[in-house]
Amino acid sequence: MRIPILEAAAVNDAGSDDIAALARHYGPGVLRAAWRVLGNRAAAEDVQQQLFLRLIESPPQRVDSWPAYLTASATRLAIDHLRRQRRWRMLAPLWKTDFPDDPPDEDVERQQASDFLRAALARINPRDASCFVLRHLHGLAPAAIGAALGLSENHVSVSVHRARKALEAMQTKEQTR
């Protein structure tokens, strides 16, 4: 059954002013979401700015939940960043990072956990990595992840499971070294 008025309501027309308002409200959350993946302030800020500037250039057609959509987009961009960073490091092992390092975490175990997770996320399928981070690091429900990434809930669950298995295998391998 088609209801024109509902179809019209589902389409968003986000202008520049709208994006500026979104940035004001949700900018800090986007930054924190990117930082949780990247562990680097400068890189997280780069993701934050990139995300909102992209929205100004090409606003999405339909968004069911802006907080979930923005968190998912920040996560995807952050994982892309990790993968790019890994490629550069493979090509030029002497280069450290393209952004200045943050001061190290005072808690060594926490710093090591964060380093491991970043390196591991850069090595697995990027969609699986996004689903895993959104589910386990950001605490989004599978339905919300699916809506934000355009996947079915079932697909999200499979991706999360696949990522978990891959990360567990990497962790076991690292611990037995």
Site for other proteins, residues 13 to 42, rule: CB under 8 A: 13-29, 31-33, 35-36, 39, 41
Among 93, 173, 175, 176, binds other proteins (CB under 8 A): 175
Report which of 146, 114, 113 is spatially closest to residue 131, judged by C-alpha positions.
146
**CB 99, min distance to other proteins, A:** 13
Q: Is 12 in the site for other proteins (CB under 8 A)?
A: yes
Residues 6+ away with beta carbon under 8 Å from 68: 140, 144, 145, 147, 148
Shortest Cβ 6–other proteins spacing (Å) = 8
Comparing CB distances to other proteins, the nearer of 85 and 138 is 138
Q: In angstroms, what is the minimal distance from the CB of 175 to other proteins?
A: 7
Q: Choose, by CB under 8 A, the member of 89, 98, 99, 116 that binds other proteins.
A: 116
Q: Cα(177)–Cα(86) distance, rounded to whole angstroms?
A: 21
Q: What single DSSP character describes residue 94?
A: T
Enumerate residues 42-81 that contact other proteins by CB under 8 A: 44-45, 48-49, 52-53, 56, 59, 63, 65-68, 71-72, 74-75
Q: Is residue 143 involved in binding other proteins (CB under 8 A)?
A: no
Task: Supply 98's token pair.
Answer: 């393209």
* CA pair distance 148, 118, nearest whole angstrom: 22
What is d(CA 102, CA 91) in angstroms, rounded to the nearest whole number? 23
On the CB side of 166, CA atoms within 13 Å amount to 18
Q: Which among 77-85, 110-118, 123-131, 149-157 is the span making contact with other proteins, rule CB under 8 A?
A: 110-118
